[in-house]
Structure 1
């Protein structure tokens, strides 16, 4: 990727470039952590991402999971079959609709998640707790805006591809 035009003072441009560099480095190390976790769980990356989405939601419909993954419901059903066979999720009747099911993490997945991600989560919480409120607000706002930007770019790319 070539140089981008960044408005502002030299110091501001340097800080913007540092943020960009740190985001790229964070993405790389997050990718390595995800690969490690997938290996520890004995899963492929798509299955691990699905398990993470179920864990974040606590209870999720298969259709909502398919939408979050950007996959067809048929492909998502295959993912859920693998996760269920591995003992990481359970499909249960939806208490609000007798013909539907919901998905939730099984105890085995919670145990594995604690083993793999527990130290990362505790370290991140400690790191965040040491920051002043204003910094946390700014970081949270920046990350939320960045996530929204990525979602918009992904939506536009899918529309351009006809996906």
Structure 2
């Protein structure tokens, strides 16, 4: 493949990634609206649905929230019937948060068809192709995670600059 064709292909892949990110973002916004929650609440439900019961101390860092913000979010989601809190059986000083069956059912209504169709899409690819896609996605995620740390540090810098200026 010529250098020019390879550059075109890279540009096309980058464009498709941007389109996919926009589509996922728009879908998650619609899903949050459907559930009557905000995007952080939706992410919390996603964590509970995929990881199972967790403590609030796990949710805070995963969502970038303070202890107080986690408590407020859990209060909202519990009031909506989307999660339960109960004492940790191994340490009753801790609380364990679980997604409810109602929330899991609603999430499956939203994301189940995507998972099912996604399996069909993946079936079109062989093992070697899927491994390359997995590697690409993994490295792309790692790239974003590195830059997330950089960007999260920026608001503090910007706030100090505005306060002086």
Give the alignment's TM-score, normalised by structure 1: 0.90
Q: In the alignment, what sits opposite 1:53?
A: 47
Q: Secondary structure at the match of 2:53?
A: coil
Structure 2: which 5+ runs fail to align?
A: 158-165
Task: Give 1:24's match in structure 2, choosing from 18, 37, 43.
Answer: 18
Root-mean-square deviation (Å): 1.5
C-alpha distance in 1 between matches for 2:145 and 2:18: 17
The 2-side partners of 1:24 and 1:108 are apart by 33
Rounded to whole Å, the distance in 1 between the matches of 2:26 and 2:153 is 29
Matches within 5 A, 1:9-158: 9-158=3-152
**Structure with more helix by fraction:** 2
Match of 1:99, SS?
Answer: strand
User: 2:104 aligns to what SS in structure 1?
Assistant: helix
Using the TM superposition, give the Cα deviation of residue 90 of structure 1 relative to its aligned residue in structure 2, in angstroms: 1.1
1:51-84 Cα deviation digits (max 9, x unpaired): 1122121121111111011110110111111111
SS where residue 86 of structure 2 aligns? strand
2:94 partner SS: strand
Query: In 2, distance between residues paired with 1:147 and 1:25?
Result: 16
3-state SS, counterpart of residue 65 of structure 2: coil
Deviation at 1:160, TM superposition (A): 4.1
Give the alignment's TM-score, normalised by structure 2: 0.89
Q: CA-to-partner distance for each residue in 1:73-112, whole Å, 9 max, x for gaps?
A: 1101111111111111111211221100111110001110
Give SS of 2:68's match.
helix
CA distance in 2, matches of 1:133, 1:109: 34
In the alignment, the residues of structure 2 paired with residue 34 and residue 121 of structure 1 have an alpha-carbon distance, to the nearest angstrom, of: 14
CA distance in 1, matches of 2:123, 2:95: 38
